[in-house]
Structure 1
């Protein structure tokens, strides 16, 4: 039978859990967001012979952006063009939504080593919008200190492109309202950072070495409260000259790279 792409259904859960278990050494978030994505809509699966072998999701973000995420192919079916098929499906969906004036651009993020995805993006009209470093950290390397949860204002959005977990939004009043619904803001002695409501990927709103050093114990506290022994810190590419100092603070890059390891792609549709 020919593969089909259709909307995800509740009975697809076992297939999604299997794909997640076999992706990123079992650390894939797909199974954890399954119910949320079903409710949100625009969540699709690739079915072959009655089995779900791939997934793709389009999420509406501020600024009329269609955010492409959750593109997965079961390891047993990779190398057969199914990833390209899902990518193409999201492109067609985005173009239809653009004609309906619901979005104006498509965006997504990927790791800098994902050469196949980067090549596919460039061939289909995407360009790199922003670059970030995604650092890892261990809660046990810090003395956790409890921060104060706060209600953010526009003055707190100090970055032009703001990471909220693995989604990235452009600074605006609309983005502020979206961030308030999807992230928590914290303050520690006047230093502020945000973290997505369900994750442990943090965005400092001041990226100097001294301020980052002061905020890390508070990030460790939040991560520990969420039941995690590790957390991530997303920093803009401009911190590259500070890499030696950042690493001395206890942060690490898995690939030991000196270049930004997170790429944000954009394709303008209108």
Structure 2
């Protein structure tokens, strides 16, 4: 029996939860975003004999970007070409949206050790447009301090590409509105940072070592309030020269590397 692609439905949630439980040691975010992705649309599943064995998501971002995310294959079905099938489906969807004038580029971010996704992307004409460090931290290593809510403006967006969790938007007025609507901003000691809603991945809006040292207790507070024992920071790859200093602040990389471990890819469609 051949697998079929279709839009995700509410009754798919148990299958998605199973895939998430078996991905990244149970740390996959897929189950947490399931309801939001259903509402947003562009969320697809690969079904085989009544069982959801894979997922893929197309999210429309500012600047006519089609953002690819959530490409997963159940561990029991890997190595059979289903990942490539999902990848081709979402690329063809991107071409269709480009023909309709809804998007102009496809973009996605992936971990630097995700060799299969990187190889597929390069083969299909994607190229790296930005590199970031994703560093982890433990709440218990800091004395949490409550920050104040903040309203960000264009002056806060000092990077050309701004992360919000594992999505990245290009600096513009439209992107600012999107960040305000999809994230939360906090301020402590005059320094601001972005947080994903209900998540624990943070973007410091000032990236000096002193600035990051100042916001870490506030990030720990937000993470603790969200029942997280750990949190992550997304930092530009240009901070490589101070990586040792970041580690002395209590931050760590998930794998041994001195290079940025998050790659942002783009493919122009027009």
| TM over 0.5, shorter chain | yes
Report 1:162-181 matches (<5 A): 162-181=162-181
Over 3 Å off, 4+ runs: none
Q: Is the 8 A contact 2:150 2:192 kept in 1?
A: no
Report SS of the residue matched to 2:118.
Answer: helix
Report what 1:38 is aligned to: 38
Corresponding residue SS for 2:257: coil
1:75 aligns with 2:80: no
More off after superposition, 119-128 vs 144-153:
144-153
1:202 corresponds in structure 2 to 202
Q: Which residue does the alignment assign to 2:159?
A: 159
Q: Structure 1 CA distance, aligned partners of 2:186 and 2:7? A: 37
Q: How many residue pairs end up in the alignment?
A: 270
Q: Who is 1:115 aligned against?
A: 115
Deviation at 1:201, TM superposition (A): 0.5
Structure 2 residue 225 is the aligned partner of structure 1 residue 225: yes
Contact 2:43 2:56 survives alignment (8 Å): yes
Distance in 2 between residues matched to 1:229 and 1:113, nearest whole Å: 24
Indicate the SS of the match to 2:31.
coil
Per-residue deviation at 1:33? 1.2
CA distance in 1, matches of 2:222, 2:57: 28
Could you say what secondary structure the match of 2:252 adopts? coil
What TM-score comes out, normalization by structure 2 length?
0.98
Q: Which residue of 2 aligns with 1:7?
A: 7
CA shift for structure 1 position 79: 0.4
Mapped to 2, the partners of 1:14 and 1:226 lie a distance apart of 23
Residue 255 of structure 1 aligns with which residue? 255
How far apart are residue 148 of structure 1 and its match? Answer: 0.9
How do 1:39-78 and structure 2 match up within 5 A?
Answer: 39-78=39-78
- Which residue number in structure 2 is paired with residue 103 of structure 1? 103
- Structure 2 contact 144–221 (Cα < 8 Å) conserved: yes
Match of 2:242 in 1: 242
TM-aligned CA deviation for residue 171 of structure 1: 0.6
State the alpha-carbon separation in 2 of the partners of residues 178 and 104 from structure 1. 18
Aligned match of 1:146: 146
Question: 5+ residue gaps in structure 1?
Answer: none
Shift of residue 256 of structure 1?
1.8
Report the secondary structure of 1:162's partner residue.
strand
